[in-house]
Amino acid sequence: MASLCWWTFALGALSCLLAVNVHRPPRRPAAVAMLAFMPAWILGELPFHTIALEALIAALFIAGGGLDAWPGVVGVALIAGAWLLHLTAWRAADRVRPRLAALGLPTEPPTRSPIELLWPFHARRHGVTRTVLRWEGDDGHTQLADLYRRPAHPGAPPAPILVYAHGGGWVMGARRSQGLPLMIGLARAGWICVSVEYRLSPRATFPDHVIDVKRGVAEARARAAAWGGDPGRVFLAGDSAGAHLATLAAVTPNRRDWQPGFEAADTSVAAAVSGYGIYDLTSRERQWPHDAFRRLIERAVIKRRLRDAPEAFRDASAWDHLGPDTPPLLLVHGTCDSVVPVAEGRAFARHAERVAPGRVTLLEVPGGQHAFNLFRSRRSDLVVPAVIAWLEAHAATAAERHARTSPPARQRTA
């Protein structure tokens, strides 16, 4: 049938367009970049699922006569070309291995069960329990968090603690749907992980967001003993907007005006991991190819114009709080990120080398889109274990430092 031939051609053209979008997503204008993000993200991380779906649709078209005329033949050729691009994108995930090796991090992905291969969104907890936490904020609002850990074992040494902040552009997102591969992996390794919610804009105005993240750190440290955790080894992590908040909280420890009602609490952390975050809200090196984030921050987050209050934007930028006492930071950023360009991470790392040398490490992930680590994929399976190894190395360093600086038990008792 002639109509099915043209449908086959349309399928091939669409398949090629989507495959090219995985490799070269548009950066501007903002509307196009945001529209292209979702298919580039899903198809880039799930190439074999994409190929299987396109093969099924093409088979149905061909069975109905989709190859009876030249448009159908061309369409099948285009589909085959798209599959080659998808396979190339899948192989590109392995290009992160040399970068991991250069940082002394593991380069082999873990094995996945059949259900995880077929449905990578399924987060198996493998004996890790999840408990809902609640505490009251400074204005009476109830803040929620999820506690991930293995069942406690008597006599086990105190565990390091990770506090995680989800992404969502400061206006959406939920603690239960992000960071699960990282937190479950850490919990299986003996860590205690706390995924905190924070107030969202436009109802919330900065610094409400970072106050809630800092309160999460304070609560985790205060409850550490009850959980079997180590209050001296608290870490932060976040992705996207959560990376902005986690990094900002990490580089502004014990800032009293951002700790209303818990000013005396210790909110310092041993280290932090930031996934595809924003570190300079002013884009002073022109990292952003469009002004969508600036408009969002002006209208919904800080609720002031950059040109009218540049000091407020700088105060909300981790860029302006770096110094010799900055805790170790690991920045993880995909090179194909069309939401927050990798130029943001590169600019921040360069700036850190000038003002806080040796404190910030940038891990660029070849072919990685925004949110590439949200579920299990080839790229996520390579990067997440490496991040866990980085955190465990710094947890061990923190434990050694504490052992060297702590007085003997008899002195502490006296």
Q: For the chain, how big is the Rg over CA atoms in Å?
A: 23
CA distances from 55 to 15, 41, 62, 90, 398 (A): 11, 20, 10, 17, 52
Question: Residue 250: is it exposed, middle or buried by C-beta count within 10 angstroms (0-12/13-18/19+)?
Answer: buried
Rounded distance, CA 227 to CA 205, Å? 32
The DSSP bridge partners found for residue 334 are: 365
Among the options 240, 283, 317, 338, which is catalytic? 240
Vertex 253: Cα angle to 248 and 256 (nearest 5)? 105
CA distances from 398 to 161, 310, 328, 402 (A): 12, 37, 11, 6
Active site annotation includes 274: no
Rounded distance, CA 209 to CA 188, Å? 29
Active site annotation includes 240: yes
Among the options 146, 212, 337, 381, which is catalytic? 337
CA distances from 52 to 10, 43, 59, 155 (A): 17, 12, 10, 50
Among the options 370, 380, 381, 394, which is catalytic? 370
Active site annotation includes 177: no
Instruction: Spell out where 84-169 has E strands.
Output: 129-136, 142-149, 159-165
Q: Which residues are catalytic?
A: 240, 337, 370
